[in-house]
Amino acid sequence: MNILDSSGEEGVCVEMTMVCLSDFEEYAKQHLSKATWDYYDAGADDCCTRDDNLLAYKRIRLRPRILRDVSLNDTRTSVLGMEISFPVGIAPTAFHCLAWHEGELATARATEALNTCYIASTYSTCSVEEIAAAAPSGYRWFQLYLYRDRKLSEQIVRRVEALGFKALVLTVDVPYTGKRRNDIRNQFKLPPHLKVKNFEGMFQEQTGPQEEYGIPANTLDPSISWKDVCWLQSLSRLPIIIKGILTKEDAELAVEHGVQGIIVSNHGGRQLDGGPATIDCLPEIVDAVQGRVEVYMDGGIRTGNDVLKAIALGAKCVFIGRPAIWGLAYKGEEGVREILQILHDEFRLCMALSGCRNVAEINRNLIQLSRL
């Protein structure tokens, strides 16, 4: 873009310096089509929960310790026994090719380069085989829905297990799709050149107006229940992580059913509006499971400061969704790498300024809940 210098004369075209995640958000909003931006940005109904996911972090204050010799900082942690460079991974989000032509391949390579965890979405515009080939050394989990036709779910589980994905992330908060008003107004559909590649060719007899987000409407199974967790365990030896838990009661049930992890998530505010922000749910869930399973969370992470607060409240790792899309829209793989690097550097700085030398030193003594 052209800019004006101090004299008011038009200057040369310069590239915007990307300092924080909101810079990437603004770039994506300006450069993606309205329908694509609205799809990624959407919350359910009035978007109260989507917005509160962000606002909730501003109600939390830190209690920094001083004179702690923070000349050396170690941001490394582990998830399911695998060491990652810092406690931020990529959450499952759909249709990355809408934001960048290489789509999930770019996301996978960026996550591999930063040595952290990428949760590939069922609704990817690249297949799991393509994702695995793009980042062969990457640490990947697979996000799974259960369908009325269980064979669809079973086939994809077999594929990801054979490809070396390390866990199954079962999304449990979508018995039906939430009402996303702008998607309805825009009559959102995938463009003809893009497909839900993991199911390519499986729905050829069912296309047209009944399609919902790239697959036939009513494919998701609203009868999903805890017995399906047992079915999934009988199908695969991969660890199972439940994504979409917001209460201590369901956290207890998850532990009783033998899962290996919980992602505290409200689907980015895209399902039930009026529910709580995920960071507000985190402490009761951490207290309920008492270390028996690992607890992760997503929703509203925009700064390294947010990451620090989530880890202090008991999350083992957090996952980012929309920011990864903004990075893709900016510069593909390089953009996602920049997003992750900014979060890493901000997290490391906030750790040091709080008096924490490694992730193990981050705990609830760091948190003061203000009454804003």
In degrees to the nearest 10, what's the CA dihedral of 41, 286, 281, 181? 30
Confirm if 266 and 245 have CB atoms less than 8 A apart. Answer: no
- What letter would DSSP give residue 280? H
In angstroms, rounded to a whole number, what is the distance separating the alpha carbons of residues 27 and 22? 9
Binding region for FMN: 92-94, 121, 143, 171, 243, 265, 298-302, 321-322
The single-letter DSSP state of residue 360 is G
**DSSP code at position 97:** G
Tokens linked to 243: 């994504």
Which parts are annotated binding residues for glyoxylate? Answer: 39, 145, 180, 267, 270
Q: Of all residues in the chain, what percent are helix, strand and coil, respectively (each to 5)?
A: 40, 15, 45
CB 85 within 8 A of CB 115: yes
- The tokens describing 70, both together, are 């923070």
Binding-site residue numbers are: 39, 92-94, 121, 143, 145, 171, 180, 243, 265, 267, 270, 298-302, 321-322
Catalytic residue, from 101, 257, 267, 344: name it. 267
Pairing of strands 215-216, 211-212: antiparallel
Question: CA-to-CA distance for 341 and 350, rounded, in angstroms?
Answer: 14
Rounded-to-integer distance, Cα 329 and Cα 331, Å:
6
- Contact between 279 and 300 under an 8 Å Cβ cutoff? The reply is yes
Active site residue 267: yes
Q: Which residues are catalytic?
A: 267
